[in-house]
Amino acid sequence: MANLCPSYFTRTTRCRGKSTGRCVLRSLDLRDMIRRLAVPIAIIALLAGCRTSQAVDIPSGPPSIRGTITNSTAATSGDRLGSILVEEVPSDQSGSEKSSVRVTRETRILVRGTTGLKRGTFADLLTGQIAEAWFTGPVMESYPTQATASVVVVNADS
């Protein structure tokens, strides 16, 4: 009859011959240790990977502009993906905020849907959608203002 010796990194072997009340322990080899640790490590890695892939935060401050996208123009080359014209009140010719927003490869584009925020692409920035943009770098004080966005959030249902 084999005696069981509690230890995670040791293995009990059957006692041969006369039972002396002792069991024979041998250390696990590297392959056995990897086999025992593989599942917990895989679960931790999977959970960590899921968390970081879903991390789509918006800046804590108010957006630089919030309004309707009235024009969207894709760029043909370079670091710039394109630009969008965001107007607070599209029917106003002047007086309300309007911004020509450059969207670059560094701009985080987020789509707000019923399940929360998810990453988007420039193709998700459609005319007629409600958008919020946070600017980075200098803002040209023309009318409309011209700036580069660090983050653009569009509402999928608008």
pTM over 0.85: no
| CA pseudo-torsion sign 72, 132, 101, 148 | negative
Give pLDDT, residue 146.
97
Give pLDDT, residue 12.
52
Do 16 and 28 meet the contact criterion of CB atoms below 8 Å apart?
no
Give pLDDT, residue 36.
75
Do 106 and 152 meet the contact criterion of CB atoms below 8 Å apart?
no
Q: What is the DSSP string of 94-109?
A: SSS-EEEEEEETTPEE
Domain segments of the chain: what residues?
A: 10-53, 65-155
Give pLDDT, residue 124.
95
Give pLDDT, residue 54.
42
Give pLDDT, residue 84.
97
Q: Which fold has domain 65-155?
A: OB fold (Dihydrolipoamide Acetyltransferase, E2P) (2.40.50)
pLDDT tens-place values along the chain, 158 residues long: 444 544 544 555 555 555 555 555 555 677 777 777 777 787 877 776 654 444 567 889 999 999 999 999 999 888 899 999 999 999 998 889 999 999 999 999 999 988 889 999 999 999 999 999 999 999 999 999 999 999 999 998 76
Q: Which residues of 27-54 are buried (b: 16+ CB within 10 A; e: fewer)?
A: ebeeeeeeeeeeeeeeeeeeeeeeeeee
